[in-house]
A and B are shown apart, each in its own frame.
Chain A
Amino acid sequence: EVRLVESGGAVIQPGGSLRLSCEGSGFTFGDYTMHWVRQAPGKGLEWVSLINWDAVKTYYADSVKGRFTTSRDNNKNSLFLQMNSLRTEDTALYYCVKDRRELYYGSGSSFNVWGQGTLVTVSS
C-alpha cells in the first residue's frame, strides 16, 4: 500500500519555527517529486512547495518564499518542511503529497497520493 504519514505539527507562537516530516512507504520514494499542500481551517487548498526527485530543484509559493525550506532524504524515504518566521496566516493542515508521474514535474503534475495531514496552529 502506498502511504504518506506526516508528523511534527504543533501549536507555535508567531515568529517561531517548526519542522514537519513526512515518511513515504509502498513506492520508490526517490523516483518522485514531492509537494507540500496546506489547507487553512474552512478554506481551500493552497500549494506550498515542491522538491524534485533528487532534490536539485525546489519551488515555493510566494506566501512562504524566504521563510520555508523543503528538503528530502531519499535514503530514509522522508520529506521535510522547515518553517521559520511563522505567521498566524500559516495556520493550516499541512499535507505531504506525491506527484503522480515518476521522475517528472511540470504541467502534468497531479497529486495521486496524499497523507492525512499534520496541523500547524500559529497563535499567541
Chain B
Amino acid sequence: SYVLTQPPSVSVPPGNTARLTCGGDNIEDKTVHWYQQRPGQAPVLVIYSDTDRPSGIPERFSGSNSGNTATLTISRVEAGDEADYYCQVWDPTTDPRDPHVLFGGGTKLTVL
C-alpha cells in the first residue's frame, strides 16, 4: 500500500522559512492536501490540491509537489505557527474499487 513519509520534527527560528516535506513514490502524480493542528485543537486545512490556499489562510503558507516530494512552505514563521502538520492524499492504487484516504505521520513544527 502507498506510504506517506514526513519527518517527525522541524525547528526554525521566528522570521525564517520552514519547509515541511511529505515523501511518497511518484507523489507528483497525486493531489496533496495539508493540515495544521495546534495543541488541543481540531486540524485546519491550510493547503489543498497541492498549491491552493483556503480563504483565511495567510499567504505565508504555500505548497508544491514534484517528483517524490510534496512540500509545505511557511515563510516568515511566527510563534503561532507552532503545530503539527499533516499531508494527505487519496489512494486508489491498492484497489481502485476500494479507495482509501491516507495521512502522513505528521511533522511537529517548533518555533525556536
Which A residues are within 8 Å of any B CB, using their own CB? 35, 37, 44-47, 50, 59, 61-62, 95, 100, 106-112, 114-117
Contacts and interface: CB of A to CB of B under 8 A. Distances in A.
Contact of A45 (B35, B49, B92): B35
A108 B105 contact: no
Contacts of A35: 101
Contacts of A100: 45, 48, 54
Contacts of B42: 95, 114-117
| 9 A-B pairs with least C-beta separation | A47-B101, A110-B33, A114-B42, A110-B48, A107-B90, A44-B106, A45-B103, A107-B31, A112-B45
Given A107-B30, A111-B33, 6 more contacts: A47-B100, A47-B101, A47-B102, A59-B99, A110-B45, A117-B42
A50 B102 CA distance: 12
Interface in B35-85: 35, 37, 42-45, 48-49, 54, 84
A61 B103 CA distance: 12
Nearest to B34: A110
Contacts of A109: 90, 101
Interface in B87-112: 88-90, 92, 98-106
Which among B86, B88, B104 has the highest number of chain A CB atoms within 10 Å?
A: B88
- For chain B, which range describes its interface: under 10, 10 to 19, 20 to 34, or 35 or more residues? 20 to 34
A111 B105 contact: no
A50 B101 contact: yes
A61 B1 CA distance: 12
A62 B54 CA distance: 30
Contacts of A47: 88, 100-103
B52 to A, nearest CB: 9
A45 B106 contact: yes
Contacts of B37: 45
Given A44-B86, A44-B105, A95-B42, A111 B35 contact: yes
